[in-house]
Structure 1
Amino acid sequence: MSEETSPVEYREPILSEQALAALQQIDPSTLGEMRAFRESFARFIMPYKFGIDEIITKVSILREEFALHENNPIEHISSRLKSAESIEQKIVRKGCEPSFDAIRESITDIAGVRIVCGFVSDVYRVFEMLTSQQDLRVLKIKDYISDPKPNGYKSLHAIVEVPVFLSEGTVAVPVEIQVRTVAMDFWASLEHKIYYKYDGDVPANLLRDLKNAADTAHDLDVTMENLHQQVRAQSASGSTDSTGGLAIAI
């Protein structure tokens, strides 16, 4: 009886035949430069990734501590690291010299962390706790909650420097921190998707509706904040509800 052989698994090629043919036409020195640039970019971007890790660790510590003794003001945390393409686009917009040193000096939002809270008061509270930590250096603060952008965008922004400890020494890495409410985050996410879909050229009627939606989100935040403060006041005074139970803290 002959030995059975398992069928060979078919895999799609990573590159198309056209791409492979094009690569074969590139001279070795150019390929070497491309490889060297890829390695240089990886070394350049790595501290920014570690900077994100440091900030997320700090926020996660606060979040776990809050969970021990009170309701957690932090709903969720997310992060993003700009791609090479996104950095290139910003270089063009800012007229920045296309060198890693110039990029480090000119572009401070390559690394970003977003913190979403339930209430406006929690946004400022978490922001203060985070930015007052001694090993963080605050470079810039923009309060788009008290002073929204014309399109209705609201969020609390800061650029901070966080120390990242590498084998060759300590590097101060800038990280953009955004803190906002759930309503602000929902609106910002929708606005980003619309601008992406229309490549920045959004029809006037959609811009008008977006601004109306921003106003609605603001009204919701105000209402929820008022409810939040009322319930906290009742809880602090130990008052009971109509069923005789203690008021539940929000």
Structure 2
Amino acid sequence: MNPSSKRALVPSGGRFLYQAVTDALRSRIASGAYPRGDRIPSVDELAAELAVSNITIRRAIRDLTMEGLLIGRQGLGVFVADDKRIVRTIDAGKLSALNEDMRASGIEAGLYDRGISVVSSSDEVFLKGLVTNHASVYRLDRLLLADGKAVGLDTLWLPRILADKLKDHLHGEFIIPLLPQFGIIVDHTKYEIEATTATEAQAQMLNVVSGYPLLVMRYFPTGADDRMILAGQNVTRADRFTYSFTSRAETIA
């Protein structure tokens, strides 16, 4: 498409101009005018072509990035997303392994260890109840890989007794499939899910721009005695993950 030919967009039905621009860019992505994996024209080029301000273009790109259709890459520009989405399944009463969900999405899962450290359980509010008297816990940080590409940050907090039991088996392994192998039974799992944006450090590791939308899922496998077994957190690129929830109605006698 020739960016030199201006095509002013006239919003209809009281819509804001940036929404009309967003719809136009979304249509180009859907039609293949902007092929998957290709870089789209620059903000200046799009503003000149559509006869709108740079601010309007940036707002439209922001919205399409939030939808997972575009991805900004530091120093390279904005690209049409070309990767499969990973459907993370959260079923009532069952914690599925992340690598199983990735495999079901047609993606090879992997982990790259970034280091293990001993931290205070008082470092994070959500660790309350993992250990008593603010005892220290092991923190394991890893990169989550999808077909060899970094798509998330995986963090585990383990009580010392659990870490000592699993330490020789954690390298590159997902935690949930390991638990039953060591006689550790999960009765139920608590979840916290929220949205955030990438810091400079996170953006560098995940190959996105600073401020890129991320999803945070914290999970707390819990025993029959209602005590937390461990705490885990996945911080993932919002363009790569979808969370699917299933709840079951309780039968009242």
Report the TM range for the smaller structure's normalisation.
Answer: under 0.3
User: Which structure carries more relative contact order (alpha carbon 8 Å, separation 6+)?
Assistant: 2
User: Which structure's residues are more often helix, by fraction?
Assistant: 1
Bigger radius of gyration among the two = 1
TM-score after normalising by structure 1: 0.25
TM-score after normalising by structure 2: 0.24
User: Which structure's residues are more often strand, by fraction?
Assistant: 2
